[in-house]
Structure 1
Amino acid sequence: MKKNIMFALLANIVNAGIAWLMLLFLIRFGNNEDIGVYSLAQALALPIHLFFTLKLRTVQLSDVDQVHSNSDYFNSRVILALISLLATIIFAVIMYKGEHDYIISVSVLGIGYSAMLVREYFISVYQIKEKNEYFFYSNIILGLTTFLSFVVTYLSSKEIVLAIAAFSITRVFCLLVDLVLLKKFFLDNVISYFKIFDKKQIFSLFKIGLPLGITAALSSLFTTIPRIKLEDISGLVILGVFTTLMSLIAFFNLFMGSFSQALIPRLSYLYRYSRNNLIKEIFIWLAILILGLMLCIVITYYNSALILTLVFGKKYAQYTNEFFLAIVSGCFLCLFYYSNMMLNIQRSFKSQVYIYTICAVVCFVVSALLIPSMQLKGAIYVSIICSLVGILISMCVFLANLRRL
């Protein structure tokens, strides 16, 4: 179990680290306008991608009784990837009619996201088999190739659109790595799944995953809404600063991703067969998580200026208060994800739609109230408030579900 969690964490650290290094590269060698364009493209493409994932990885990991086959999960993802790409292109054309750079940026980013959607199947197999070392090896290859393609393209062209296109296309080719790993080490030939196309089962998966897809898309609005509002109020430069300060939260997100993905199969089993042990484990892992987050907050409080200077450069040292708040928002986001994981092990998927809808509404209202007056700080406070609301509601729903049993 510990080895599995360690490799899942390392895999996600590699993923988060590469994404962060790409942003750091832009900070060092680009400008805030390019960072703003990159941030806006992500803000617009990400909600569509997250919706069409339908969070099938969560569904597959918690499918203890194997109601759906591997072919059902794989074919579903292929269909969703194609629809996701088409929806992203249509959305970009409608949203940015006449602004070709934005349309191309969002569209090519959609290609990369679609490839990652298919890759979710491979990651699920690694985690179900408790072989996260293959997840780790795959992420190293993906991370290094996408980073190099992005850096080389940007340095040679100084065009952010071309750099985004380069790393998105590289993501597509990296699917071949996972195809080889699965066939060689897991005897899982996914190409043969195209011959096993069960429409009824695939539709069933869509139906199960739809609430989770809506939830995932709504969760992305917690960053999308403040970014769009901040760009409208303060411009691309301040949006670039906001993106820079909040960039380290990617590590919080992916830490919780690996943490929860490693725990969900075990906790789902305990929820089904040993609820007393379930409660015990939930509180043990929660205590460990809180201690780690508190340590993170203390270190940041006393070293904000040093961290900003070392990581982003001296020009960002003036944003120590905003950076500390950004780290605090990341800690609350981790607790929100943990409380959300507790609902996943109950397979309480539909309730999450209502929770995230409430949080998205809160995000919209608070953004309208705080960002015009507080600008950069206001955008960070929006994230903190949304996470707090989500934690409180999720915990209440989890306890209510337990009492019904």
Structure 2
Amino acid sequence: MGDLAGVRVLLGVTGGIAAYKAALVARLLVHAGATVDPVLTRGAERFIGAATLEGLTGRRVRSDVWEDIPGESHVALGRAADVALIYPATAHTIAKLAGGLADDLLTTTLLAATCPLVVAPAMHTEMWQHAATAANVATLTGRGVHVIGPASGILMGGDVGAGRVVEPEDAIAAVRAALASAAPDRDLQGRTVVVTAGGTREPIDPVRYLGNRSTGKMGFAIADAAARRGASVHLVAANAGLPTPDGVTRHDVTTALELRDAVLGLVDRADVVVKAAAVADFRPATVAASKLKKADGVPVVELTRNPDVLAELGAARSGPGERPLLVGFAAETDDPEQRGWDKLKRKGADLLVVNDVSRSDAGFATDTNHVVILGADGSRVEVALAAKREVADRILDRVVAGLGD
């Protein structure tokens, strides 16, 4: 995986002759590990086909604000993006962005986005030098938009001058720089954070097991975010086939008992424990030594309760606010918030992150999540649907506030 693994990029392509280079940009982004969501303006569709970008990114190309109305495409795309890149950006699109207009899917999506925005202008020299364009660019840069280029060179029709879109490699470098500039302060420097992620598997026989649908994406996002914020991070990963985030020490486990042993072996040095893994409540009381045969009839599997690691950690403290700071998760399908308050009290945690896993756009195996963070102090913070990378930082914001000085 490349250095942009886990990063979701909104790639906007507008109607200029340089639109063909967007295919190279998409390929470079994917090669670096990014997930790329292409959005074409109607003008861009005259220069580059949707099939090209879909083939390169493996993602659906969107262009019409009237498509997928129930899914709120523009809001969902904007919230999910970690960074947006407009390549190329015409004078017309730059003017619309500066004026806050939203008359197509791309500009509507960008109004809903809170991520860093990189704009790569492309136009004739006279258009670039026009006072209106200069004012619009100044407006965007004043808002923190990263404007790269344009370069000087051969333009459409053989003209030579400023207005040529920057090369794809330069655009990717700008994306990396925008992400770096948006990185949070290293407010967990000197702290040790233990994160659990994935789903435990409880063996029935050498072949079969009891398990759940957790992939570990949320926990891995938290581990990655904690490391970016300066923490020393230990990730206890239960059956998660995801790459280890940079700067994170990984401990692989399979069962709930193995996860408990790993966490208890790390907790003495921890300032924070985030229990994001989906841990099985029960396990088979006995494990068959050989594969159970269908011909022998339907087996009776007697279950026994697994230890509740979060509750055990909570009980070991004198009360909420003691170290380590404890963060639990509650994946619910019915009345999730009320169940979350009940679980927060029972477990003795400081924070409980509740998400409704019956939603198709949140919970297990998705790249986005929508959560409510409940606090033992009675606080409630709702995080609207966003990329799990963004949700992870919002959870850690609450952790940092709980740690105090």
> TM-score, normalising length from structure 2?
0.21
> Whose helix fraction is larger, Structure 1's or Structure 2's?
1
Higher relative contact order (CA 8 A, sep 6+): 1
Bigger radius of gyration: 2
> TM-score, normalising length from structure 1?
0.21
> Whose strand fraction is larger, Structure 1's or Structure 2's?
2
